[in-house]
Each structure stands twice: as structure tokens, then as C-alpha cells.
Amino acid sequence: MRRVPVLGYAILAYLAFILTIIYSIAFIGNFFVARTIDSAAVVPFGEALAVNLGLLLLFALQHSGMARKSFKNWLQTHLSHGLDRSTYVLASSITILLVMALWQPMGGVVWSVSGLVTSKVIVAIFFAGWGLMIYATFLINHLELFGLRPERKAEFQTPGVYRHVRHPIYLGWLLVMWASPIMTVAHLVFAAGMTIYMLIGIEFEERDLAAELPDYPQYQRKVPMLFPSWRKRLLRKPDN
């Protein structure tokens, strides 16, 4: 009987994730919703900037803080088995929805692409980024990642696109943030802030992976972090 509420909680967290994805596509891509990331400014620039930087900081503290091993261990001691991952997914989804709901447009256009073909190509790259992110989650066990199945002991694997880039989910997120026919100041602040956070987060994540998986340091030397490269990379450290 205990499995029923655990599964229900996991499904609730997953539905929150799906809602977050749908709203994020609309908000960042300027589709369907009344107020998007590129809407006209409604408050003074300084006030909007302060609010937006605060929201980015909130996201960084929640997303990175809850991902740390020490916090995971604490969470596991206070929650029923299997709820820790779902709690992280639910908290992350709520935080991202909160960021988008409170995000303040700032006015000003950094760039605007007027050509129809070029605009369509950029929009295609935007959706390709979402596709890459979702596809990559299934390669590393989508159900475990979102708390629908108990996490197993980490095993080193490089399925599909992971053979060519170490962080395809982050690469997809980069495409989503930067592939825009219209780049307003608010959009630029969002994209730049998330990119900086992402690069910092990768450093912490890779440090944990290298400590947990003996094969990971060699994987780091062999496979590029974010962008595929034709350059030959070392399979092992050179002898001194």
C-alpha cells in the first residue's frame, strides 16, 4: 500500500514537469501566452533588472543546492524511499514556473531577424534544442531521472549522443535560450544568466561524477563537454 502514495507523488511531480516544459516553450518562444520573455516592459529598467537577477539567483540556489550530495543524503533521511528524486523534480518545476511568472520584460531589442527563411531556421533550432533535451533524458533512463522509478546505483554508460558530447541536455538548453529571431534585453539577461549558471553547475556535477565513476575522467578527456568536435582527443593521460 505504501507504493501507491509514493507513485502518486511521483506522477504529480512528473505532471508538474510536463506543465513546466509546455509553458517554457510558450514563454521563451513567444507562443500562445499573453506575456512572454520578449514582451514590452511594464516597470522601470532598474526594477526589472533587480527582480530578474533575483529570480535567476533563486533558481540557481534551488537547482544547484538540492543537487548537492550532502542535501540529497539529508533529504533521503527525512523522506520515504523513492521520494527524494520526485521532490527535486517538483521543486525545480515550481521554481522555474515561478521565475517565468514573475519575470519582468525590460524593453530594448538586441537583435531582430526579419528574413522569413532565417527566422524559420532559428525557430527550428529552438525546437531542436527541446527535442535534444528530451531525447537525451531517455538515453539515461527517463523514468529514474524524473522519479517514476527508484534510482539504481550509477553505472558509467555513453549511449547515443553521449558518445559525442558529455552534456547533451545542457546543449539543448543552450539552443533553446539563444535560438531566437528576436532577442530583447530581458531575453539576453535570461540566456546569459542561465548560461553562466549552467557552466558553473557543470563543474560541480563533473566533480561529483569523477569521484563516483572511475571511468569518467577518461570520458572527460575523450568527449567534448558541450559541442561535438572532430579534433582527436586523448583516451588516457600521457605518460610523464
User: 36-76 pLDDT, tens per residue?
Assistant: 999 988 999 999 999 999 999 999 998 888 777 777 777 66
Residues 96/22, Cβ–Cβ less than 8 Å: no
Residue 46: the pLDDT is 94
Distances 43 to 38, 47, 100, 156, 212 between C-alpha atoms, Å: 14, 7, 16, 49, 47
Q: d(Cα 57, Cα 194) in Å, to the nearest integer?
A: 10
Given a cut of 90, whether residue 181 has pLDDT beyond it is yes
Residues 210/187, Cβ–Cβ less than 8 Å: no
Q: d(Cα 72, Cα 151) in Å, to the nearest integer?
A: 12
Residue 171: the pLDDT is 96
Given a cut of 50, whether residue 239 has pLDDT beyond it is no
Amino acid at 210: A
Residue count of the chain: 240
The residue with greater pLDDT, 124 or 152, is: 124
Grid cell of 1 as nine digits? 500500500
Residue 159: the pLDDT is 84
Given a cut of 80, whether residue 231 has pLDDT beyond it is no
**What is the per-residue pLDDT across 190-229, written as a single tens digit (0 to 9) for each?**
999 999 999 998 998 898 888 888 899 999 989 999 998 7
Given a cut of 50, whether residue 1 has pLDDT beyond it is no
Angle of helix 168-178 relative to helix 3-29, nearest 10 degrees, comes to 40
